[in-house]
């Protein structure tokens, strides 16, 4: 018996990193998974990995910051598998950072679009599908960057803080309709993007690891375990919560 047996799931940004780990975990726990990403090769590879492990998955290409793509993605899940039970909105892309008085407006606007507006768009269409079948569970991926002031990273931190209150407010709206909505806030997680950064700045590996009281980086799988739990019926009385999965980084 898996945590998510017979569920139909959708994971955005499932082509690599945390999103891929979540898609693999959903499938391992028994869900059929729609893998959504705008990197076709990466998304198709995630599906292959799931199928090689004996799971069920299908890829859909699209940019989840565009409403027509989001509508097509949710429609694909419902058409192919009959309904949508669980969804994790993990796709995000920062368009830049810097000091507030120095970066251009486009950096702020596009980061909000790729990290916050996309999450709202996904929720809008996921919720519509879930209302049609009597309920479901959504997990949004936030970031510890949203929890306290973070110099030099205001567009991303602001967008992720928006994800937090979007999660809580919408949980209040849809709880009565059987839809639970939570968020997970990762600390520093060892993803391909971070590994590339460490190649340029190796000294950052220890510094970032030491932000966690467990004195190490997290693994994508450690985020995925928590997302699968929150998505599952085991978390049936949990909604509107923001859970940091960060090796204790938020308590420092």
Cα(10)–Cα(224) distance, integer angstroms = 13
Identified binder of ligand NAD from the candidate list 3, 27, 31, 64, rule CB under 6 A: 64
Does position 250 interact with ligand NAD (CB under 6 A)? The reply is no
Specify whether 197 is catalytic. no
Tell me which residues in 151-190 interact with ligand NAD (CB under 6 A).
186, 188-189
Looking at 2-10, 26-34, 61-69, 123-131, which segment touches ligand NAD (CB under 6 A)? 61-69
Closest to 26 measured CA to CA, from 48, 52, 5: 5
Looking at 59-67, 124-132, 172-180, 235-243, which segment touches ligand NAD (CB under 6 A)? 59-67
Does position 247 interact with ligand NAD (CB under 6 A)? The reply is no
> Which residue number, 161 or 194, has a Cβ lying nearer to ligand NAD?
194
Q: Report the 10 Å Cβ neighbour count for 25.
A: 27
Q: Report the 10 Å Cβ neighbour count for 14.
A: 33
Closest to 69 measured CA to CA, from 100, 95, 43, 47: 43
Backbone phi, psi, residue 190, to 5°: -75, 95
Closest to 183 measured CA to CA, from 122, 244, 126, 247: 244
Binding mask 205-244 for ligand NAD (x = CB under 6 A): ----------------------------------------
Identified binder of ligand NAD from the candidate list 2, 45, 56, 63, rule CB under 6 A: 63
- The token duo for 210 is 């030491």
The stretches of 29-153 forming alpha helices (DSSP H) are 40-52, 67-81, 105-112, 118-132
Where does this chain bind ligand NAD (CB under 6 A)? 13, 15-19, 37-39, 42, 63-65, 90-93, 114, 118, 141, 143, 186, 188-189, 191-194
Residues marked as catalytic: 156
């Amino acid at each position: 018996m898996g945590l998510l047996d017979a569920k139909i799931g959708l994971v955005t940004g499932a082509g690599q990193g945390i999103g891929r780990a979540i898609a693999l975990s959903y499938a391992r726990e028994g869900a059929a998974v729609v893998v959504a990403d705008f990197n076709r090769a990466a998304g198709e590879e995630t599906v292959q990995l799931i199928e090689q492990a004996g799971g069920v998955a299908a890829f859909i290409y699209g940019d989840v910051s565009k409403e027509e793509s989001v509508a097509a993605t949710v429609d694909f899940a419902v058409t192919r598998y009959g309904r949508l039970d669980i969804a994790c909105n993990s796709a995000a892309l920062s368009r830049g950072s810097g000091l507030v008085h120095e970066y251009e407006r486009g950096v702020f606007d596009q980061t909000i679009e790729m990290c916050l507006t996309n999450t709202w768009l996904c929720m809008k269409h996921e919720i519509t599908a879930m209302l049609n079948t009597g309920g479901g569970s959504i997990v949004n991926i936030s970031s510890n960057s949203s929890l306290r002031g973070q110099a030099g990273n205001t567009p991303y931190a602001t967008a992720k803080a928006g994800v937090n209150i979007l999660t809580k407010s919408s949980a209040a709206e849809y709880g009565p309709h059987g839809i639970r909505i939570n968020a997970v806030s990762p600390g520093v997680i060892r993803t391909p993007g971070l590994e590339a950064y460490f190649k340029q700045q190796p000294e950052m590996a220890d510094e970032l690891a030491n932000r966690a009281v467990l004195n190490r980086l997290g693994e994508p799988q450690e985020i995925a375990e928590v997302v699968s739990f929150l998505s599952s019926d085991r978390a049936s009385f949990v909604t509107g919560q923001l859970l940091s999965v960060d090796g204790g980084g938020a308590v420092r």
